[in-house]
């Protein structure tokens, strides 16, 4: 039993209380029940951003299969949820009316809904969202939401605000991290700290393979940009982290097949200097007769990997990726998808209950403001109390700060701080860096020592305020462990 | 700075030396046709007082006469604009990096030796070609130029960044022909939204004195609607736009993008040349000295196009530009003229006044009939009402008088009764006449209401209609002749009555053996006699009362007839007075309206003549503009009917 569950319990109780208060209000009841159900469900992760930022490609990379986008002949611009299911199945929810099922077909890219047009002949934009069930291990604990491209400026963040409410966590994609793109994120609203802080957002510098004009070191350049930008104030205000990802290469890595590997290996047989002139441009690669690969295969490789991907893959094969598995791993690492997966695991999946609590609290808050009742004030006070007492939110912020090196602690201390704050696992033994079977006495001793050390750090007068504040958060984490043990 | 060159730019020797900042006028003695048309256009603008157009066209004129071709490279962020400029001249003069975006524009032109300056312009509307003072022109080192520019920009006070641009001179054959390349910061909000970018680019091309715009767009995506908007707006100022699709080396489907971009530009009506280029390939080609690679990069095509434009600047480009400018200027000048012409067809104030006067005359006619009818109707009503009123009042007096006469003896109380009656009749007459006065005033108002436009001013001046003093017609009422009941009469009547009594009682008592005259019979007689006297008295009183009533009734009737006559006279007098008054009022109004009608007619006639003259003048001017427009269009050698349709013409 970790403290996160206690927070979840308190939020659950608060939701039930709200249901009681709004017992005579149908829509409010529905809204609260939705959030009650969501509280125990899997993590809901939205992939969103301006048009053409590679959202669907990233969804495919995260799922590991070509499932996005789900296109339909009648409508564009609907939301698509991807969830785990025993067999592929698409359920369409129109804006008005009951949901119905439609058969699915594979398309060149993603899937296509083969719907009888008569069904929504009345209005082309009739589809609100599509729920796609797809047997996939990746979707078992995380539901993915693929969204249409966000329109610019104000309209953008209005759409985005809806998605923010629908999902527990958000991957915001941008090709350039330009101010115009970032303006599409909903502005920080008033309200309590938990709802105002961007604990649930990670910005993705997408299509990283095209950075710097698709230079040889495009992916590296993109990573450097991401590393630099994540510390800049315009981004720290709106997200937890910035990660550079090439969805195209990432997806190619996850779905790498033996024949593709063979084709790449055939290319890599040639020495670097021999091959390089043929990889200068797509046209050269297509028309290179010296390359021992038939044109259809070359076209296929371009389609799957892009020119940057082909360059990267051949280099990787040459430098020691001896089988598809090794190549896939290396590509995964270089594409940035591996980093994104670990970010999602650390910041989102491990903190599922906290993120869900955050959404539920914000939902209660919204309801209390939208439909004021005599007891609304009580609800708001309770929300405030839960937020101010929840150490989890502070921990999450600390972890994000440590990850992006904003905390200002020396490396050694940062590692310990990250562990104690639950960065490598939320259980007590993981936090204390002990094996799971360690006896409580040992845990106690270790926790007490850590608490003492961090108390000293937090009171050290020579340290900058920022570091002292960080130390205070770690100290509270230690105290929470002691409290649980005692 | 590197000094190698390759391909189309390999020869360094300039064919014709160009003065460093030569504002050289055209050499030929006879001014070309396009210059004549442009000058005529400028004159027209001046004649119509369009100073801003005149100034702008003069700027473009200077530009066209200048041997340099200034090419402005514009586009959204990260489209490879700086890379494009660098690759064209094979020198790293513009910062190419994802970490630092281009913050100030760089003007690259030919120079015998590499040189660079950071220029601060005097203000946001200062042309970039204006000579800058020594303090506003900071020399920069040419080694590591991009860093030098960044440092120099940072050293400038904040807020002037928008007024800065770098000027770089490099020895290049391509530039020696007169080509000037201008690398610019990214346009606002592109590639998704156009309003900001349109404004940005307009300002840039105007003040940077651009002759040609090279719009960069990466081929890894489709050209967006916002970019098309920007290009469409640009094509209103420039006859031709050059679009470079960059990064073809990494775009597997750049040929599709090229075809699609061409289609969409044609669809949007933007005259543009689209060229696909790859700066990366160009740099590889330069490094390896490979000709085929250079060809693949698309740069030779782009350079050839630029060289052609430089060579034909004062012919083809100038002609097309003047055709476009002529059209634009003529349209700008003609629009307000046409609006004027339309306005002059609308009814003016004078005509409106004329119509107003006519309308009022019509109204007055209707009003006259109305008030006359009203006066006649109301007077008739008043006549019958006042008669009825008088009758009711006198009848009430009469009823009361009769009731009073029933209870008193006229013979005895006449002196009290007569003054009362006189007063009652007088009071009734007074209240009736007061009511008449009220009704008269109301009547005057009622008639005045028939003049809704003139309000209270038509009411008669006197506060209330004069009603004669109530005539005193109550007169004296002579007492009716009364039959007196004298003592002798009473004696006789008593005797007559007592005779029967004595006889009746005497006969009865005689049966009892008494004599006919006995005390009993005398008592009976006295009783009967008394009774007879009383009855006779009563009947006499009744008769007196009846007589008095009759007299009173006749008297009151007489008074009523007199009063009714007076009232009727009053009403008739009133009717006559009002009729005279309102006739006078009507005549006055009629006179006033006629007067304004006459003056309005005169004004309308004058106005009409003026307008006709003005319309003729505007039409003449529009015809002149139309001629100018035709001349300008003739410069292109092709006549566009679509443009002609939106052109000039009266109306």
Name the region of B264 (left: φ>0; alpha: ψ -120 to 50; beta: rest). alpha
Note whether A212 contacts B: Cβ–Cβ < 8 A: yes
Bridge partners, B169 (sequence order): B109, B115
User: Which residue from A minimizes the CA distance to B192?
Assistant: A152
Report the distance separating Cα B243 and Cα B81, nearest Å: 11
Determine, yes or no, domain membership for A97: no
Instruction: Give the pLDDT score at B48.
Output: 80
Give dist(CA A275, CA A393) in Å, integer. Answer: 52
Q: Residue B102: pLDDT above 80? A: no
Q: Mutate which of B78, B98, B279 to disrupt the A interface (most A C-beta within 10 Å)?
A: B98
Touching check for B251 and chain A: CB below 8 Å?
yes
Q: Residue B637: its pLDDT value, please?
A: 62
Report pLDDT for B651: 33
- Please give the DSSP secondary-structure letter assigned to residue B208: T
Beta carbons of A358 and A347 less than 8 angstroms apart: no
For residue A95, the SS3 value is coil
pLDDT value at residue B648:
37
CA distance A42 to B286: 56
Range of the domain at A428: 407-485
**pLDDT value of residue A407:** 66
Separation of alpha carbons B406 and B408, rounded Å: 6
3-class DSSP string for B44-87: HHHHCCCHHHHHHHHHHHHHHHCCCEEEEEEECCCCCHHHHHHH
> Judging by beta carbons within 10 Å of its beta carbon (0-12, 13-18, 19+), is residue A67 exposed, middle or buried?
buried
What's the CA gap between A278 and A269, in Å, rounded?
A: 14
Chain B hits for A283, Cβ within 8 Å: 248-249, 296
Candidates B77, B97, B248; nearest CB to A178: B77
**Each residue's pLDDT tens digit, B532-546:** 888 888 888 888 888
Instruction: Check residues B488 and B20 and name the one with the higher pLDDT.
Output: B488
Per-residue pLDDT tens for B213-270?
A: 999 888 888 888 888 888 888 888 888 888 998 888 888 888 888 999 999 999 888 8
Answer yes or no: is pLDDT of A197 > 70.
Answer: no
CA dihedral of residues B374, B377, B378, B379 (deg, nearest 10): 120
Least confident of A131-145, B92-106, B297-311, B563-577: B92-106
The burial class, CB within 10 Å (0-12 / 13-18 / 19+), for B486 is: exposed
**Does residue A194 carry a pLDDT above 50?**
no
- The rounded distance, in Å, linking the Cα atoms of A282 and B249 is 5
Residue B14 confidence (pLDDT) above 50: no
Residue A37 lies in a domain: no
Per-residue pLDDT reduced to its tens digit, A327-359: 999 999 999 999 999 888 877 887 888 888 888
Please state the rounded mean pLDDT for residues B67-91. 86
Report the length, in residues, of chain A. Answer: 486
With CA atoms as reference, the chain A residue closest to B219 would be A213
The model's pLDDT over A3-30, given as tens digits with 9 standing for 90+, comes to 445 788 888 888 888 888 888 888 888 8
| Better-predicted residue by pLDDT, B156 or B215 | B215
What domains are defined for chain B?
7-17+68-314 (3.40.50.300), 349-474+482-636 (no CATH)
Dihedral (C-alpha) A234, A239, A245, A248: value to the nearest 10 degrees?
-110
Phi, psi of A436 (to 5 degrees): -60, -25
Q: Is pLDDT at B20 greater than 50 in this prediction?
A: no
Q: Evaluate whether ipTM surpasses 0.90.
A: no
User: Are the C-beta atoms of A112 and A104 separated by less than 8 Å?
Assistant: yes
Question: What integer pLDDT is reported at residue A364 of this predicted model?
Answer: 84
Closest CA to A367 of A8, A20, A6, A38: A20
Helix axes A411-420 and A391-403, enclosed angle (nearest 10): 150
Tally helices (H) and strands (E) across chain B: 17, 9
For the CA atoms of chain B, what is the radius of gyration? 59
Q: Examine residue B592 and say whether the peptide bond preceding it is cis (omega within 30 degrees of 0).
A: no
pLDDT of residue B643: 37
Q: What pairs with residue B596 in β-bridges? A: none
Among A216, A223, A232, A280, the residue to mutate for chain B (most B Cβ within 10 A):
A280
Q: By the CB < 8 Å criterion, does A138 face chain B?
A: no
Provide the Cα torsion B110, B114, B118, B124; round to 10°.
0
A175/B250 CB distance under 8 A: no
Region B424-432 average pLDDT: 85
Pair A480, A389: CB distance under 8 Å: no
Question: Would you list the DSSP string of B395-442?
Answer: HHHHHHHHHHHHHS-HHHHHHHHHHHHHHHHHHHHHHHHHHHHHHHHH
Say if A171 falls within a structural domain.
no
Q: Which of B400, B326, B395 is CA-nearest to residue B640? A: B326
CB B428 within 8 A of CB B393: yes
From the candidates B84, B252, B296, which should be mutated to test the interface with A, based on the most A CB atoms within 10 A? B252
Q: Which residues of A93-129 are buried (b: 16+ CB within 10 A; e: fewer)?
A: bbeeeeeeebebeeeeebbbbebeeeebeeeeebbeb
Q: Does B248 touch chain A (CB under 8 A)?
A: yes
Residue ranges of B 201-240 with Cβ closer than 8 A to chain A = 220-221
d(CA A57, CA B499): 152
Confidence tier at B54 by pLDDT (50, 70, 90) = confident
Q: At what angle do helices A376-389 and A3-21 cross, to 10 degrees?
A: 180
Count CA atoms closer than 13 A to B445's CA, side-chain side.
8
Asked if the Cβ–Cβ distance from B249 to A215 is below 8 Å, we say no
Q: Are A60 and A66 in contact (CB under 8 A)?
A: yes
For the beta sheet containing A70-72, the strands, ordered from the edge strand earlier in sequence to the opposite edge, are A70-72, A111-113, A104-106
Within-domain flag for A452: yes
A134: number of Cβ within 10 Å: 21
Most confident of A66-80, A391-405, B432-446: B432-446
Nearest to B223 by CA among B251, B185, B202: B251
Flag whether A278 is in a domain: yes
Q: Which one of B78, B192, B196 makes the best mutation probe of the A interface by having the most chain A beta carbons within 10 Å?
A: B192
On whether residue A366 sits in a domain, the answer given is no
Chain B contact for A180 (CB, 8 A cutoff) = yes
**Residue B21 sits at the chain A interface (C-beta within 8 Å):** no
Taking the Cβ of residue B283 and every Cβ of chain A, the question of whether any pair is shorter than 8 Å is answered with: no
- DSSP codes of every residue in A32-81: HHHHHHHHHS-EEEEEE-STTS-HHHHHHHHHTSS---EEESS--S-EEE
From chain B, the residues in CB contact with A228 under 8 A are 99
pLDDT band at B334 (very low <50, low <70, confident <90, very high): confident
Q: What is the pLDDT of residues B539-590, one digit of tens each?
A: 888 888 888 888 888 888 888 888 888 888 888 888 888 888 888 888 988 8
The pLDDT confidence band at residue B377, using thresholds 50, 70 and 90, is very high
Give the strand order in the sheet containing A241-244.
A100-102, A89-94, A127-134, A79-84, A142-146, A43-48, A169-174, A201-205, A241-244
Judged against a pLDDT cut of 80, whether residue B188 lies above it is answered with no
**Which SS3 state, helix, strand or coil, does residue B140 take?**
strand
Instruction: Judge whether A281 is closer than 8 Å to chain B, CB to CB.
Output: yes
What average pLDDT does this structure show over B348-363? 84
Report yes or no: A220 at the B interface, CB cutoff 8 Å.
Answer: no
Percent of chain B with pLDDT over 70: 88
Given A274, A295, A329, the domain boundary residue is A329
Q: Which of B247, B252, B254 sits opposite A213 (nearest CB)?
A: B247
User: Do residue A307 and residue B249 have CB atoms under 8 angstroms apart?
Assistant: yes
Shortest Cα–Cα distance, A388 to chain B (Å): 39
Q: What secondary structure letter does DSSP report for B475?
A: -
User: Are the Cβ atoms of A175 and B252 closer than 8 angstroms?
Assistant: no
Burial of residue B238 (CB within 10 Å: 0-12, 13-18, 19+) is buried
Is the pLDDT reported for residue B4 higher than 50? no
Contact A285, A298 (CB under 8 A): yes
* Domain-ending residue, one of A287, A307, A329: A329
Distances (CA, A) of B157 to A244, B130, B161: 35, 22, 8
CB B177 within 8 A of CB B307: yes
What residues of chain A lie within 8 A of the CB of B193, using their CB? 152-153, 180
Task: Give the residue on B whose Cα is nearest the Cα of A213.
Answer: B247
Least confident range of A186-190, A215-219, A332-336? A186-190
Tell me which residue in B189, B251, B279 faces A282 most closely, judged by beta carbons. B251
Residue of A nearest to B284 (CA): A280
pLDDT, position B456: 66
Interface test with A, best of B84, B99, B246, B249 (most A CBs within 10 A): B249
The answer as to whether A203 is a domain residue is no
Condensed to tens digits (0 to 9), the pLDDT of residues A80-128 reads 889 888 888 888 887 777 778 888 888 877 788 776 544 554 454 567 7
Helices of type H across B637-651: 641-645
Q: Is the pLDDT of residue B27 over 50?
A: no
Boundary-marking domain end, from A302, A329, A356 = A329
Strand partners, B180: B70
Number of domains, chain A? 2
Residues counted in chain B:
651
- Angstrom distance (rounded) from CA B91 to CA B146: 11
B233 with B198: CB under 8 angstroms?
Answer: yes
Q: Taking Cα atoms as reference points, which of B479, B600, B603, B491 lies closest to residue B548?
A: B479
Q: Which residues of chain A from 5 to 64 reach within 8 Å of chain B, CB to CB?
A: 50-52
Asked if residue B213 lies in contact with residue B177, where contact means CB atoms within 8 angstroms, the answer is no
User: For residues B1 and A327, which has the higher predicted lDDT (pLDDT)?
Assistant: A327
Asked if B80 is an interface residue toward chain A (Cβ–Cβ < 8 A), one would say yes
Do B299 and B277 contact (CB within 8 A), yes or no? yes
The pLDDT of residue B7 is above 50: no
Residues of B in contact with A51 (CB under 8 A): 192
């Amino acid at each position: 039993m970790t403290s996160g569950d206690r927070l979840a319990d308190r939020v659950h109780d608060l939701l039930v209380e709200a249901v009681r208060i709004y017992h005579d209000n149908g829509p409010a009841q529905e809204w609260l029940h939705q959030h009650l159900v969501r509280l125990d469900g899997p993590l809901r992760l939205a992939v969103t951003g301006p048009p053409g930022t590679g959202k669907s490609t990233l969804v495919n990379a995260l799922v590991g299969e070509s499932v996005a986008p789900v296109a339909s002949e009648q409508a564009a611009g609907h939301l698509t949820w991807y969830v785990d299911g025993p067999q592929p199945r698409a359920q369409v929810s129109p804006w008005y009316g009951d949901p119905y099922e439609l058969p699915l077909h594979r398309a060149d890219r993603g899937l296509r809904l083969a719907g009888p047009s008569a069904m929504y002949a009345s209005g082309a934009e009739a589809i609100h969202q599509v729920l796609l069930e797809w047997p996939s291990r990746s979707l078992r604990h995380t539901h993915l939401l693929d969204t249409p491209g966000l329109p610019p400026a104000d309209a953008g963040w209005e759409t985005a605000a809806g998605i923010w409410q629908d999902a527990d966590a958000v991957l915001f994609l941008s090709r350039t991290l330009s101010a115009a793109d970032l303006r599409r994120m909903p502005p920080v609203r008033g309200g309590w700290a938990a709802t105002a802080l961007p604990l649930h957002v990670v910005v993705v510098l997408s299509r990283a393979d095209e950075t710097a004009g698709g230079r040889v070191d495009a992916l590296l350049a993109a990573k450097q940009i991401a590393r630099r930008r994540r510390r800049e104030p315009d981004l720290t205000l709106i997200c937890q982290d910035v990660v550079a990802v090439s969805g195209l290469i990432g997806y190619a890595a996850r779905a790498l097949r033996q024949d593709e590997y063979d084709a790449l290996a055939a290319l890599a047989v040639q020495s670097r200097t021999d091959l390089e002139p043929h990889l200068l441009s797509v046209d050269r690669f297509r028309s290179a007769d010296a390359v021992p690969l038939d044109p259809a295969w070359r076209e296929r490789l371009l389609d799957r990997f892009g020119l940057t991907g082909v360059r990267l893959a051949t280099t990787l094969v040459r430098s020691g990726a001896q089988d598809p598995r090794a190549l896939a791993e290396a590509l995964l690492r270089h594409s940035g998808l591996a980093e994104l997966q670990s970010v999602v695991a650390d910041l989102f999946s491990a903190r599922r209950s906290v993120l869900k609590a955050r959404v539920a609290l914000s939902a209660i808050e919204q309801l209390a403001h939208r439909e004021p009742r005599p007891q609304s004030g009580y609800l708001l006070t309770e929300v405030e109390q839960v937020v101010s007492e929840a150490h989890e939110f502070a921990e999450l912020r600390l972890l994000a700060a440590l990850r992006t090196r904003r905390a200002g602690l020396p490396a050694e201390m940062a590692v310990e701080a990250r562990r104690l704050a639950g960065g490598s696992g939320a259980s007590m033994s993981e936090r204390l860096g002990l094996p799971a079977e360690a006896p409580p006495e040992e845990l106690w001793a270790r926790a007490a020592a850590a608490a003492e050390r961090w108390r000293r750090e937090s009171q050290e007068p020579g340290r900058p305020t920022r570091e002292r504040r960080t130390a205070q958060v770690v100290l509270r984490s230690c105290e929470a462990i002691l409290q649980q043990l005692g | 700075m590197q000094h190698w060159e390759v391909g189309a730019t390999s020869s360094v020797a300039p064919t014709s030396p160009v003065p460093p900042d030569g504002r050289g006028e055209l050499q030929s003695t006879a001014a070309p046709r396009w210059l004549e048309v442009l000058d005529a256009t400028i004159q027209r603008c001046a004649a119509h007082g369009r100073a801003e157009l005149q100034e702008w066209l003069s700027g473009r004129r200077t530009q066209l006469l200048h041997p340099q071709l200034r090419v402005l490279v514009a586009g959204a962020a990260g489209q490879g604009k700086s890379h494009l400029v660098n690759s064209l001249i094979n020198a790293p003069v513009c910062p190419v990096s994802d970490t630092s975006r281009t913050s100030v524009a760089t003007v690259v032109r030919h120079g015998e030796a590499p040189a660079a300056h950071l220029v601060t312009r005097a203000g946001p509307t200062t042309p970039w070609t204006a000579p800058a003072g020594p303090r506003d022109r900071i020399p920069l080192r040419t080694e590591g130029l991009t860093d030098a520019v960044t440092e120099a920009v940072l050293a400038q006070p904040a807020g002037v960044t928008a007024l800065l641009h770098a000027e770089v001179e490099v020895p290049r054959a391509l530039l020696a022909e007169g080509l000037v390349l201008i690398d610019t910061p990214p346009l606002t909000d592109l590639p998704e939204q156009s309003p900001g970018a349109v404004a940005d680019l307009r300002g840039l091309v105007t003040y940077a004195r651009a002759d040609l715009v090279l719009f960069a767009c990466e081929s890894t995506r489709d050209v967006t609607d916002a970019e098309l908007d920007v290009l469409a707006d640009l094509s209103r100022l420039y006859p031709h736009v050059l679009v470079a699709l960059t990064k073809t080396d990494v775009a597997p489907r750049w040929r599709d993008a090229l075809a699609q971009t061409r289609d969409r530009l044609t669809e949007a009506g933007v005259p543009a040349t689209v060229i696909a280029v790859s700066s990366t390939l160009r740099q590889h080609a330069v490094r390896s000295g490979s000709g085929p690679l250079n060809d693949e990069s698309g740069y030779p095509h782009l350079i050839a196009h630029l060289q052609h434009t430089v060579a034909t600047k004062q012919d083809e480009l100038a002609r097309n530009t003047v055709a476009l400018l002529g059209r634009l200027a003529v349209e700008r000048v003609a629009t307000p003229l046409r609006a004027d012409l339309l306005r002059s067809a609308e009814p003016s104030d004078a005509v409106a006044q004329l119509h107003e006067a006519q309308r009022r005359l019509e109204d007055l006619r209707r009003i006259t009939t109305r008030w006359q009818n009203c006066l006649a109707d109301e007077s008739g009503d008043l006549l019958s009402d006042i008669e009825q009123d008088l009758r009711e009042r006198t009848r009430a007096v009469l009823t009361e008088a009769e009731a009073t006469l029933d209870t008193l003896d006229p013979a005895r109380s006449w002196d009290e009764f007569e003054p009362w009656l006189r007063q009652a009749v007088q009071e009734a007459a007074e209240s009736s006449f007061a009511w008449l006065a009220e009704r008269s005033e109301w009547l005057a108002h009622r008639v005045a209401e028939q003049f809704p436009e003139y309000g209270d001013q038509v009411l008669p001046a006197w506060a209330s209609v004069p009603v004669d003093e109530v005539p005193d017609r109550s007169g004296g009422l002579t007492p009716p002749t009364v039959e007196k009941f004298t003592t002798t009469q009473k004696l006789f009547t008593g005797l007559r009555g007592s005779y029967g009594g004595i006889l009746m009682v005497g006969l009865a008592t005689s049966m009892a053996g008494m004599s006919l005259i006995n005390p009993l019979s005398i008592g009976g007689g006295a009783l009967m006699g008394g009774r007879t006297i009383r009855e006779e008295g009563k009947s006499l009183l009744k008769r007196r009362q009846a007589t008095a009533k009759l007299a009173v009734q006749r008297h009151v009737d007489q008074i009523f007839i007199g009063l009714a006559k007076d009232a009727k006279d009053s009403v008739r007098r009133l009717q006559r007075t009002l009729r005279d008054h309102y006739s006078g009022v009507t005549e006055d109004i009629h006179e006033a309206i006629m007067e304004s009608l006459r003056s309005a007619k005169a004004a309308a006639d004058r106005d009409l003549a003026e307008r006709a003259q003005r319309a003729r003048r505007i039409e003449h001017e529009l015809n002149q503009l139309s001629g100018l427009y035709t001349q300008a269009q003739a410069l292109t050698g092709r006549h566009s009917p679509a443009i002609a349709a939106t052109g000039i013409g009266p109306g």
